[in-house]
Structure 1
Amino acid sequence: MDDVIIIGGSFAGLAAALQLGRARRKVTVLDTGLPRNRFAGHSHGMLGHDHKPPLDILTEARRQLARYPAISLVNARADSVSGTIDNFSVLTGDGESLGARRVILSYGITDQMPDVPGFAEGWGTSIVPCPYCDGFEVAGQHWGLVWSGPQSHNQVRLFHDWTDRLTVFADGHDIPPDIRADLAGRQVPLVDGRITGIAHHGSHGATIKRDTGLDVAVDILFAHPRNRPSASLHDSLGLATVNTPTGIALKTDERRETSVPGIYAAGDLANPGIPSVTTATWQGAMAGIFAQQSMLV
């Protein structure tokens, strides 16, 4: 039996494995090899790895974990989790049953692309969600923001640290008069109409097509589509969740433990705030440490 099974081997999962492996705890990481940021050419804001391709960072992390004999990296999907603390059972997609005293869920989330021609094709290049991840490289250029809800109003203020040239696309949303007045006072154009297509130019530029009016070209388009957990294990386990502006996140306490004793969570799956590689890595490390400390006698 393992001490810990980690489900999801991206930044959070591997960071948890590193802490557990260094504590000489036996750990198995199950991973399908589909990290959320695989569409991005570079990862930014992570100390020591700024502007490196995210898949390269993960490859190097796996290479470094190979020096710890207690860590086993397995390319497999987890189909189910059952049992209770100190006696969990994980069934893999290959039909193998694995046992562990603790479980860490770090299988991340999947962005749900809207049914707009060109959106999925530009995701991670000319269409991005996070200014902390990509804002510096396009600072001072013409940004576009697809309105997704009340949180978009705060993003207008946030984006000002990177650019003074911003166009907001209502995309069919009913923008209240007071927000319209605020945008006008900030000299931020608000373009009505629903987005019907997006054409891409080079690595960043995009032209937004609408069902009314002329097309609008921007240098980068920020959007926040709905997302969902990449697996449904939390549902079958009955784990508590919290609502976020774009979906749900697993609820954890200050020790990264979920509502079920012995099951921990980290990364985008359990982050209702600002998702990032740095945050995922920190949360994963802490989940590993707290899981290890919970097994002390």
Structure 2
Amino acid sequence: MEREQAMIYDVAIVGGSYAGMAAGLQLAQARRKVVIVDEGKPRNRFATHSRGFLTQDGRSPHDIKAAGYAELAQYPTVEWCMGKAETVTGEIDNFTLTLAGSMAAESLRARRVILAAGVGDELPPLPGLGERWGQYVFHCPYCHGFDLNRGRIGVLATSVAAMHLALLLPDWGRTTLFLNDAFEPDKEQLEKLAKRGTHIERGAVARLTGDALEVVMADGRVFPLDGLFVVTQTAPSVLAIRLGCELDVTPLGRVIKTSAAKATSVPGVFACGDIAMPVGNLSLAVSDGALAGQAAHHSLVFDL
């Protein structure tokens, strides 16, 4: 569908992955004019399959997203715009989104905005980690732990936040916490780790290597693993910062602060998915997006 120059959309959704599509689907049911701006870089694009999403368990993230796109394409009031939203300006009932792409910059106008662009993971600068991200190195055991078949699991510490994974992961396999000189557990923490059966390895990790996954320590020790988990940091949304949205600081990075109805501190702007919650999970993103879509519709109807 070609965009009309004078068209003002009911809702512009920034981000066309799981949360954004779920929001768009709710608005499509209400026959609202929606434009979804998508850069095409979902957070889980490095993973071969996704776990824990009801009816889609084990399916590839690409296939799940393609199925969502096909469903939304059936609705005549939903339009897709492939590109990156660089700025969002204006106020409730009159927002302007400036896009950047291969062509000249263009703008869209909308009465409401839903930010659902997701986040990127800031990975530790450890040699060999980046190329194994999503294949052997993960951040979510609920998404990837089952397929490790109760094998050898590692947790790479970058801070004391690694304790959470180190206590959680024994349900998925034999777990080793690599302290990596990031912190030293106190007596209480040591007791908790022992109770869960988590093994501890002290010393710095030098690199990841091997055709699959091996942790190589600075002193030369080598630990073959089936999977390694790490607590990543997520960068805050640049669009949200420019808009003036209030942020929440979490152990995993800064996210957009929202109300129970997914409203941000800026009237007329909503946020959902990984960009608005510290825990990244496909099922949670879809649920969050559906809530944001309904909330945006209510805002239009009741002038909220």
Q: TM-score surpassing 0.5?
A: yes
Identify which range, 22-31 or 168-177, moves more after superposition. 168-177
How far the C-alpha of 1:236 sits from its partner, in A, is 0.7
User: How big is the shift at 1:122?
Assistant: 0.4
Q: Does 2:91 match 1:84? A: yes
| Match 2:115 to one of 105, 109, 112 | 105
User: Which secondary structure does the structure 1 equivalent of 2:10 belong to?
Assistant: strand
Cα distance in 2 for residues equivalent to 1:276 and 1:62: 19
In 1, Cα distance between equivalents of 2:217 and 2:162: 19
Moved more, 193-202 or 282-291: 193-202
1:190-205 paired onto structure 2 within 5 Å: 190-202=200-212
Aligned to 1:144: 154
Unaligned runs of 5+ in 1: none
- Which residue in 2 is equivalent to 1:280? 285
- In 1, the alpha carbon distance for the partners of 2:206 and 2:233 equals 18
Give, in whole Å, the separation in 2 of the partners of 1:18 and 1:158: 34
Alignment partner of 2:249: what SS?
Answer: strand
Q: Look up the match of 2:40.
A: 33
Q: Aligned with 1:109: secondary structure?
A: coil
What number of residue pairs does the alignment pair up? 291
Instruction: Confirm whether residue 234 of structure 1 aligns to residue 240 of structure 2.
Output: yes
- Specify the SS of the correspondent of 2:292: helix
How far off its partner does 1:256 sit? 0.2
RMSD, aligned CA: 1.5
Identity %: 38
The 3 A distance-change label for structure 1 pair 102 and 174 is: same
Tell me the alpha carbon deviations over residues 229-271 of structure 1, each in whole angstroms, 9 at most, x when there is no partner: 4x51111111111112121111000000001111000010001
SS of equivalent residue, structure 2 residue 171: coil
Q: In the alignment, does 2:180 pair up with 1:171? A: yes
Which residue, out of 239, 258, 266, partners 1:260? 266
Query: Does 1:243 find its partner at 2:253?
Result: no
Kept in 2, the 8 Å contact 1:16–1:286? The answer is yes
User: What are the superposed Cα offsets for residues 57-110 of structure 1, whole Å, 9 maximum, x if unpaired?
Assistant: 111111111110000011011111111111111111142111111000011110
| 2:3 alignment partner in structure 1 | none
Whether the 8 Å CA contact 1:122–1:200 is kept in 2: the answer is: no
Distance 1:200 1:238, change over 3 A: farther
What amino acid sits opposite 1:174 in the alignment? Answer: F
**What is the rounded CA distance, in whole Å, between the counterparts of 1:45 and 1:177 in structure 2?**
34
